[in-house]
Amino acid sequence: MIKNDLFLKALRGETVERPPVWMMRQAGRYLPDFMKLKAKYDFFTRCRTSELATEITVMPIHQVGTDAAILFSDILVVPQAMNIEVQMKPNFGPWLPNPIRDRKSLDQVIVPDVYEELGYVYEAIKMTKKELNDEVPLIGFAGSPWTIFCYCVQGQGSKNFDKAKEFCFTEPQMAHELLQKITDTTIAYLKGKVEAGVDAVQVFDSWGGMLSPVDYQEFSWPYIQQIIDALKDMIPVIAFGKGCWFALDVMAKSGASALGVDWTCSGRNARYLSGGNITLQGNFDPSRLFSPPKDIKRMVHEMIDEFGKDRYIVNLGHGILPNIPVENAKAFVEAVKEYK
């Protein structure tokens, strides 16, 4: 039995004394101990070495005090497993030297044996579960098919993913073929995470908001729905679409246990748009963690009041920024624990 199961209670919609709190990208970036490991090992070495992934995953539990751990990994391990080369360039970000933009490159994309190609992730989960010793739940995650697709076609990060969208609108059949391959791989990958012992999974649609509401229903949401359908009877699923407030009504009927909300949609609006019966997660602006700790605490209490303490998981509206002072991250977590 997990000692602190507030997070799981909130996912089940149970009444709680206070909402649970964790932060996207909490494992690393802003923690000094993480930076020491970063100086020693390159990015994918940290992802692929179970001992390092475990150490990084557990860090914020002991140092910041969140109510859930999220496995240290990256959404781009999935395309790597699918025979797509992905590099992480320092001071640049993801770089895919051979983007998928024609029939020949698409035919080389495989739906892999996830246990063979991503076994190191499952090892890290087992090791982390042992290390956590049932203190808090462990979250596994994957990028949404659309978000992975964006990198596979664009070849790098982008402000607008114009090449990815161009491929959708000029070669829709091939676009859907690639999206389906990513979806099939992601479902198998997440099922493996459930077997390895995670307590919940989150699907990150970081670039969903790049699409119009109509295009979102063609190129992103149906694939996330497939993932939810495949997993919802096994484990709680959180769907997070950055900039996707326009789809909250559809998402709320999906069978997901919770929906993530970014800071551009108020708690009140998110409750209204989602129908008021589903657990919501979010939505503190990550940049607001630069505010003085006393302001952070006040704003967090206001945010909880707006969302309501039940069916709510306190989080940021996207990943924590690398240069946030650790004491400010702690103030964010403490504010939730002090909430009355």
Binding residues for substrate: 25-29, 44, 74, 151, 206, 318
DSSP secondary structure letters along 154-167: HSB--SS-HHHHHH
Annotated binding site: 25-29, 44, 74, 151, 206, 318
Q: Which residues contact 163 (CB under 8 A, 6 or more apart)?
A: 99, 101, 153, 154, 155
Given a contact cutoff of 8 angstroms between Cβ atoms, the answer to whether 124 and 54 are in contact is yes
Given a contact cutoff of 8 angstroms between Cβ atoms, the answer to whether 197 and 129 are in contact is yes
Neighbours of 132 (CB within 10 A): 21
Tokens, residue 41: 């090992």
Smallest CA-to-CA distance from 65 within 293, 301, 329, 313 is with 329
CA dist., res. 30 & res. 71, Å (int): 16
CA dist., res. 247 & res. 214, Å (int): 10
Which 3 state secondary structure label does DSSP give 38?
A: helix
CA dist., res. 52 & res. 121, Å (int): 11
Which phi and psi (to 5°) does residue 247 adopt? Answer: -105, 5
Across the chain, where does the E strand assignment appear?
69-70, 87-89, 93-95, 138-143, 200-205, 237-241, 258-261, 279-284, 312-316
Which 3 state secondary structure label does DSSP give 3?
A: coil
